[in-house]
């Protein structure tokens, strides 16, 4: 278990560095919640400097950076990251409803990526050098070449032009309207999964073909197993090691992509909240969102490490 303990310690250190970087970048950037609020309300532009200083003092922005950082970090460790500077609501009250939207989007996108990537890679490996293999690889190459943000915009515009239905409107929670919810989330999830699916497909195909050229695979064939069965029983297991790494890496990539996709499709998720909070210089909300994204990314990487630990006996022997 020493291997997993080392990975856990590295994850904790990485999370601390993420919180520190987010805090410093926000403070280095020009402006704060007070100046952002004044800019959004032109009628407030006549506030005297003393009034602005008083507002900063009420919001705790006049304190030194180390004090602000350690106060926020200690509050976050108690799962109480404070109140939003823009709305004066609890930060968790701001994040909680958005978390469900982003989680639903990410789960649909992840499921789409795994199904398309694994199935496409295995089919391409099964028909190596044939028309299906060339067609699948061509589609994967095209998917890797098209920016996700541009594809999302084209899809929204095309659907609106052809059907008169605007995809970026009409989000409803699944509990209140499953049909409206899926109509809003599924197109966004499919677009978000296109590029990661292509990456996974290429890795699965190449890893499967590499395993099919190994000694143990040829020995399995010599014992009378068909190529399909040998691929399924032996080559696919070896291909799962690099595929697991790709799934974890692309899952983290999709967290970042969700920020753009939620903006295009009008989904009220954490990505959209992050953009709004950055624009309003709402430090506690931004820092808390970065912390949530960081915990999720590190958790995914730890799950990948655990999967490697289970799939690769060499790690267990080394541990």
Residue spans per domain, the chain: 1-86+280-319, 97-270
How far lies 206's CA from each of 23, 123, 248, 316, in Å? 42, 12, 18, 26
Instruction: Name the CATH code of domain 97-270 (choices 2.60.40.10, 1.10.3720.10, 3.30.565.10, 3.40.50.720).
Output: 1.10.3720.10
The pLDDT assigned to 153 comes to 79
Residues 280 and 36: beta-carbon distance below 8 Å: yes
Spell out the alpha helix ranges (H) of the chain: 2-28, 33-40, 49-59, 65-77, 91-126, 131-145, 148-163, 178-212, 215-222, 227-230, 236-265, 270-279, 283-311, 313-318
- 46 DSSP 8-state letter: G
The pLDDT assigned to 263 comes to 82
The pLDDT assigned to 228 comes to 66
Tokens for 13?
Answer: 């250190």
Q: For the chain, which residues score pLDDT lower than 50? A: 44-45, 319
The pLDDT assigned to 224 comes to 64
90 SS3 class: strand
Q: What is the pLDDT of residues 50-66, one digit of tens each?
A: 666 777 776 777 778 88
Closest to 184 measured CA to CA, from 271, 272, 102, 266: 266
Tokens for 76?
Answer: 């976050």
The pLDDT assigned to 200 comes to 92
DSSP secondary structure of 1-27: -HHHHHHHHHHHHHHHHHHHHHHHHHH
Distance CA 143, CA 212 (A): 26
């Amino acid at each position: 278990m020493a291997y997993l303990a080392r990975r856990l310690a590295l994850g904790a250190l990485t999370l601390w560095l993420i919180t520190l970087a987010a805090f410093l970048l926000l403070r280095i950037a020009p402006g704060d919640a007070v100046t952002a609020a004044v800019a959004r309300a032109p009628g407030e532009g006549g506030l005297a400097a003393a009034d602005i200083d008083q507002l900063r003092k009420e919001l705790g922005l006049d304190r030194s950076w180390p004090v602000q950082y350690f106060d926020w970090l200690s509050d976050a460790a108690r799962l109480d990251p404070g109140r939003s500077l823009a709305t004066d609501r609890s930060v968790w009250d701001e994040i909680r409803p958005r978390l469900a939207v982003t989680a639903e989007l990410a789960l649909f996108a992840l499921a789409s990526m795994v199904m398309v990537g694994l199935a496409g890679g295995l089919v391409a490996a099964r028909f190596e050098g044939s028309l299906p293999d060339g067609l699948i690889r061509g589609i994967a190459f095209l998917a890797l070449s098209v920016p996700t943000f541009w594809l999302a915009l084209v899809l929204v515009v095309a659907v609106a032009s052809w059907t008169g239905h605007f995809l970026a409107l009409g989000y409803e929670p699944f509990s209140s309207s499953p049909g409206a919810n899926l109509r809003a989330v599924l197109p966004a999830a499919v677009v978000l999964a296109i590029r990661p699916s292509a990456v996974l497909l290429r890795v699965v195909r190449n890893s499967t073909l590499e395993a099919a050229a190994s000694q143990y695979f040829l020995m399995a064939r010599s014992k009378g197993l068909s190529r399909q069965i040998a691929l399924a029983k032996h080559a696919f297991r070896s291909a799962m090691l690099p595929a697991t790494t790709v799934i974890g890496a692309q899952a983290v990539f999709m967290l970042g992509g969700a920020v753009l996709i939620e903006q295009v499709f009008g989904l009220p998720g954490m990505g959209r909240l992050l953009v709004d909070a950055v624009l309003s210089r709402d430090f506690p909300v931004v820092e808390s969102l970065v912390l949530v994204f960081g915990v999720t990314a590190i958790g995914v990487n730890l799950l990948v490490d655990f999967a490697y630990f289970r799939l690769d006996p060499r790690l267990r022997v080394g541990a």
